Amino acid sequence: MKIKLNSWSSVALWKWVVTDEEDVCGICRNQFDRCCPSCKIPGDDCPLVWGQCTHCFHLHCMIKWLQTESSNQACPMDRRPWVYLTGDPTTQDSQQQQQEQQQEQQL
Amino acid sequence: MKVYFLKKNNFIISYIHFNFKINNNNNNNNIIIFFLKKDIPTLAINFDLEWNRLKIAMDAIFNTAPLSDSLEGLYTLCENLCKYDYSSSLYQNIRNELIEYLKQEFINISKKLDEQNFLVSLSYLWTSFCKKLIMIRSIFLYLDRTYALREVKAGSLWSLGLELFKTYVANVSNIRIKAINELLALIEIDRQKKFITGEEENKYILLRTIIKMFIDLNMYEDFENAFLEASTIFYKKESRLYINKISMSTNSGQLIAEYLQSVETYLNEEVERCNLGCYNGYVDSVTRKSVTLIVENEMIKSYINIILEKGFEYLISSKAYNDLLRLYNLINRVDLLESLRIYFLNYIKKTGSFYVLDSSKDPVMVQSLLDFKKDLDDVLEQSFNNNDKFVNTVKEGFEIFINERQNKPAELISKYIDNKLRQVRSIPEETVEQLQERCMFLFRFINGKDVFEAYYKKDLSKRLLLFSKSINIELEKSMIAKLKDECGGGYTSKLEGMFKDMSVSKDLINDFIKEPEYSSRIGNVSLNVNVLTSGFWPSYPQSTYNMPQELLECQNAFSDFYLKSHSGRVLQWQNSLGFCVLKADFPKGAKELIVSLAQAIILLHFNNTDVLSYSEIETLSQMNTKELKKSLQSLSCGKYKVLIKNTEGKNVVESDSFVFNKEFESNLRVLKINSIQAKESLEERKTTREKVIKDRQYQIDAAIVRIMKARKTISHPILLSELFKQLKFSITPQDIKIRIESLIERDYIKRDLSNNTIYHYVL
Ligand SMILES: [Zn+2]
Ligand SMILES: [Zn+2]
Ligand SMILES: [Zn+2]
């Protein structure tokens, strides 16, 4: 071996798993790579949450929404009862797509 | 009742002692003292005879001849005459004698009126008269202290003498006018410094004597008025001469400096002149203020515009701080500092624009401005007394010229700081800190602070990701702290986020190493991963390479480790960032090569063969043409030729092929070949600029939505004024109109149906 890799200082960017980079939070309408209106900086401190309905929001937006009377503890996008998704939303991607396809077919 | 007569010092004083009862109850003794003014004459005295002796003595004094009687005898004579009630006649006779004497003297002197040394004669007359008067007074002291003091309006013999002298000076053949004119002529010669050497002292004594005479005769005002009038004429003429010379000269700046110097000299001379205690002073100090005011008005106030126009820029740009101080002080005396300030401001604007607007000077703009600021600080300190108004003028000037050109100054200031922070090892820490402080002065006035932030962020990201080993984290943080102080926490939160990412990443890699499940997959490679939060960092173009297995496994192992504990996220590898350290076993010595990932990929392929053609490398690495060419060029045409290109020339073309350089040698053990990464390409700058524009749009949108959410309904002008208030960069109404249209399109707001200058928030 003439050439050997000794060390590597590499760089990676972490992003929220959202289908489209231009996607916005359904509550505050900010893009997901920006933070919710009550925060100043995006990232670890303003995390996203997913519901079992697969909709995604800023955690802070969701908490605020659920505190309002009109929320009825439902997802603001589809009015289904809001249940936090535990686990990795990435594995739900395929489910979500299937669901969407089913919905489209139904329509 | 007892009466006592006491004799004491020729004065006979009688005490009469009464002792009687005022009333029956009181037995007090009361003493009443009579002062008997007059002795009772025992012998008759012949006044004319006695007076004649006194008159002879007076004549002798007038003729400066010796006295025939002793002073004591004469004194007693006078005393006796007074006691015999001849005081009034005595006084009258003395007065007549004085008049007689002065009449003759003034007849004599008026004949010398046109003689050259008239003033000397007058001075002689005056001084000798004073001496004579003193002698006369000592003879008639008794009269002076008794009768003259009490009964005569004119008062003492001294006053009488001066009063008489004054009448002659005032009335005889224009002696007063002549004397004043002579004085003024002498003063003019003195002002021109044309006294004959050796004679100055006599001239000063002469001037002082005559002027003192005017003071003693209570005629100083006559002199003063004439003196001030002459001074006005003199300084009017003097300044006009200078100014004419200056306006015709090509070297007017230097002449102004000389002019100011001579004004200062004139002022000092006038102050000395108006000080009777000074060796060359002869005018009373009450005149000082008026005469210096004349110098100031005639020489400075009348020509303030010419002085500033012809002199200011020359003095300040030639750093003649002493001359500037003189200028400042002189202008301050005539209360025209505001004019000076305007010239100062214009100079700052002009000079600053010169540095800022000419793009050919961009490489030295920031250094020039910092040096300029330093010079101005020197001016403020050394010449302008650190006057607050002038200190603020510097700020005012900088704010105006630095914003005459949009964006570029902000970009260059960021670049300048970046450059210093990259060289922290060769510059002392305090110096860097000072430079930061000085750059903050410039930064403070920039309207587009978001432009600065964008460039600063970009430069900081390179420092953190490419030079993490050579930066000084304390200095980095001190700069952030300064920006935070200036613009608040919101401004620096993302920059601080970058530092946070760095330290979180350090913890992550430590955890990664502790988990053999993942870390064992990467072999002996020392891996570091900087995990960036996407909102904090500038965006970089995505580069995809076909990676050798060992590199790919590094990324996969870390991704698996990271995502296990961070659900809901993805990792995007930034292949154009970061760097690798390779160990290359050249036959003439092993070297450590610091290279970009792209360079590393290319070099690693040479482990299997010595020669690779361009197209082979392209196939193996799947790199885009531009990146591949750039990387190969830096490996084969740069300072360290690790690969040998089969053709000559500095550029790489598709037909080239490359050989691993077995002959490579270098004195250094560690070679840095990745410097192309650190250089900022034109595209990068363009992206940064575009990013700023996009960011501004986002900020305008966010501000509009914020306002609409609060107000629900708003008219166009009020919305505009709110936006101008909230947004920290300069925007045009046109910019805002475009954003409003876009928001209407996206259904955030809508126009009122009947009035299209009113907007409603869409709930
Ligand atoms: Zn939200
Ligand atoms: Zn938040
Ligand atoms: Zn939902």
A-to-B residue pairs, Cβ atoms closer than 8 angstroms:
157
Give B670: exposed, middle or buried? Use CB within 10 Å, 0-12, 13-18, 19+: exposed
Distance B230 CA to ligand 1 centre (A): 86
Paired tokens of B451? 């432009």
Q: What is the DSSP string of B4-36?
A: EEEEETTEEEEEEE----SSSS------EEE--
pLDDT of residue B86: 85
Question: B108, B219, B106, B107: which is closest to B163 by C-alpha?
Answer: B219
ipTM above 0.90, yes or no: no
CB contact under 8 A, A2 and B607: yes
Question: B412, B417, B530: which is closest to B475 by C-alpha?
Answer: B417
Angle at B713 between CA B707 and CA B719, to 5 degrees: 45
How far apart are alpha carbons B351 and B372 in whole angstroms?
8
- Inter-residue long-range contacts of B628-636, CB under 8 Å, 24+ positions, other chains counted: B628/B598, B628/B602, B630/B676, B631/B596, B631/B598, B631/B599, B631/B602, B631/B676, B632/B602, B632/B656, B632/B658, B634/B599, B634/B673, B634/B674, B634/B675, B634/B676, B635/B599, B635/B602, B635/B603, B635/B673
Distance B727 CA to ligand 1 centre (A): 22
Q: How many CA atoms lie within 13 A of B2 on its CB side?
A: 6
Least Cα separation, residue B520 to chain A (angstroms): 15
Q: If contacts are CB pairs under 8 Å, which of residues 719-758 in chain B contact chain A? A: 748
Residues of B in contact with A12 (CB under 8 A): 529-532, 555, 558-559, 562, 571-574
Question: B108, B215, B95, B209: which is closest to B155 by C-alpha?
Answer: B95
CB contact under 8 A, B582 and A3: yes
Backbone angles phi, psi at B657, to 5 degrees: -135, 160
Task: Indicate the average pLDDT of chain A.
Answer: 80
Q: If contacts are CB pairs under 8 Å, which of residues 674-713 in chain B contact chain A? A: 698, 705
Residues of A in contact with B531 (CB under 8 A): 12-14
Q: If contacts are CB pairs under 8 Å, which of residues 459-498 in chain B contact chain A? A: 465, 468, 489-490, 493-494, 497
How far apart are alpha carbons B517 and B506 in whole angstroms?
19
Q: If contacts are CB pairs under 8 Å, which of residues 613-642 in chain B contact chain A? A: none
Most confident of A13-22, A40-49, B327-336: B327-336
Which residue in the set A5, A44, A89 is minimally distant from B600, CB to CB?
Answer: A5
CB contact under 8 A, A12 and B580: no
Paired tokens of B489? 């926490």
How far apart are alpha carbons B670 and B288 in whole angstroms?
79
Distance A38 CA to ligand 2 centre (A): 5
Question: B294, B159, B127: which is closest to B225 by C-alpha?
Answer: B294
Question: B324, B333, B434, B337: which is closest to B381 by C-alpha?
Answer: B324
How far apart are alpha carbons B244 and B255 in whole angstroms?
11
Q: Rounded to whole angstroms, what are the CA distances from B44 to A99, B39, B79, B85, B489?
A: 156, 13, 15, 12, 114
If you count them, how many residues does chain B have? 763
Residues of A in contact with B583 (CB under 8 A): 3-4, 6
Render the burial of B345-371: b for 16+ CB within 10 Å, e for the rest.
Answer: bebbbebbbebbeeeeebeebbebbbe
Which residue in the set A12, A33, A90 is minimally distant from B535, CB to CB?
Answer: A33
pLDDT of residue B425: 76
> Contact B59/B52 with Cβ under 8 angstroms?
no
How far apart are alpha carbons B125 and B113 in whole angstroms?
13
Distance A34 CA to ligand 1 centre (A): 9
Angle at B65 between CA B61 and CA B67, to 5 degrees: 70
CB contact under 8 A, A15 and B572: yes
CB contact under 8 A, A3 and B525: no
Q: Which chain B residue is nearest to residue A39, measuring alpha carbons?
A: B490
CB contact under 8 A, B606 and A3: yes
Contacts of B696 (CB under 8 A, 6+ apart): B450, B729, B731, B735
Distance B493 CA to ligand 2 centre (A): 14
pLDDT of residue B483: 94
Give B10: exposed, middle or buried? Use CB within 10 Å, 0-12, 13-18, 19+: exposed
Q: Starting from the CA of residue A30, give the closest ligand.
A: 1
If you count them, how many residues does chain A have? 107
Residues of A with CB under 8 A from a CB of B: 1-17, 29, 33-35, 40-44, 47-48, 50, 87-90
Confidence bin at A38 (pLDDT 50/70/90): confident
Q: Starting from the CA of residue A25, give the closest ligand.
A: 1
Which residue in the set A2, A12, A33 is minimally distant from B585, CB to CB?
Answer: A2
pLDDT of residue B743: 87
How far apart are alpha carbons B196 and B206 in whole angstroms?
14
Say whether residue B560 is in contact with chain A using an 8 A CB cutoff. Answer: no
Which residue in the set B494, B533, B582 is minimally distant from A14, CB to CB?
Answer: B533
Residues of chain B with pLDDT below 50 are: 1-38, 40
Which residue in the set B526, B536, B551 is minimally distant from A6, CB to CB?
Answer: B526
CB contact under 8 A, A7 and B528: yes
pLDDT of residue B42: 53
Please give the helix or strand (H or E) that residue B3 lies within, else none: strand B2-8
Residues of A in contact with B558 (CB under 8 A): 12
Q: What is the residue extent of each domain of chain A?
A: 16-90
Distance A43 CA to ligand 2 centre (A): 9
pLDDT of residue B24: 43
* For range A11-26, the mean pLDDT: 82
How far apart are alpha carbons A62 and B190 in whole angstroms?
94
How far apart are alpha carbons A52 and B246 in whole angstroms?
89
Paired tokens of B350? 């002009």
> Contact B446/B485 with Cβ under 8 angstroms?
no
State which residues have CB under 5 angstroms from ligand 3, the bound ion: A 53, 55, 75, 77-78
Helices (H), B296-336: 304-307, 313-317, 321-333
Paired tokens of B381? 């300190």
Least Cα separation, residue B415 to chain A (angstroms): 23
The SS3 of residue B584 is strand
Q: Starting from the CA of residue A24, give the closest ligand.
A: 1
pLDDT of residue B84: 83
Q: Domains for chain B: give ranges and CATH numbers.
A: 2-36 (no CATH), 47-170 (1.20.1310.10), 217-335 (no CATH), 502-575 (no CATH), 578-680 (3.30.230.130), 683-761 (1.10.10.10)
Give B228: exposed, middle or buried? Use CB within 10 Å, 0-12, 13-18, 19+: middle
Paired tokens of B403? 């914003």
Contacts of B446 (CB under 8 A, 6+ apart): B402, B403, B409, B410, B413, B452
Q: What is the DSSP string of A12-78?
A: EEEEE--S-TT-B-TTT--BTTS--TT-SS-STTS-EEEBTT--EEEHHHHHHHHHSGGGTTB-TTT
Which residue in the set A7, A34, A47 is minimally distant from B526, CB to CB?
Answer: A7
Which residue in the set B497, B527, B532 is minimally distant from A13, CB to CB?
Answer: B532
Helices B473-487 & B489-514, crossing angle to 10 degrees? Answer: 150
Which residue in the set B531, B535, B606 is minimally distant from A12, CB to CB?
Answer: B531
C-alpha dihedral sign at A66, A70, A76, A81: positive
Distance A57 CA to ligand 1 centre (A): 6
- In the beta sheet, which residues pair with residue B528? A9
Say whether residue B558 is in contact with chain A using an 8 A CB cutoff. Answer: yes
Distance of CA B650 to the CA centre of its chain: 54
Angle at B672 between CA B666 and CA B676, to 5 degrees: 130
Distance A30 CA to ligand 1 centre (A): 6
Question: B255, B267, B391, B379: which is closest to B320 by C-alpha?
Answer: B379
- In the beta sheet, which residues pair with residue B758? B715
Which residue in the set A2, A35, A87 is minimally distant from B567, CB to CB?
Answer: A87
Least Cα separation, residue A76 to chain B (angstroms): 14
How far apart are alpha carbons B387 and A29 in whole angstroms?
53
Least Cα separation, residue A103 to chain B (angstroms): 24
The CATH number fitting domain A16-90, selected from 3.40.50.80, 1.20.1250.20, 3.30.40.10, 3.90.70.10? 3.30.40.10
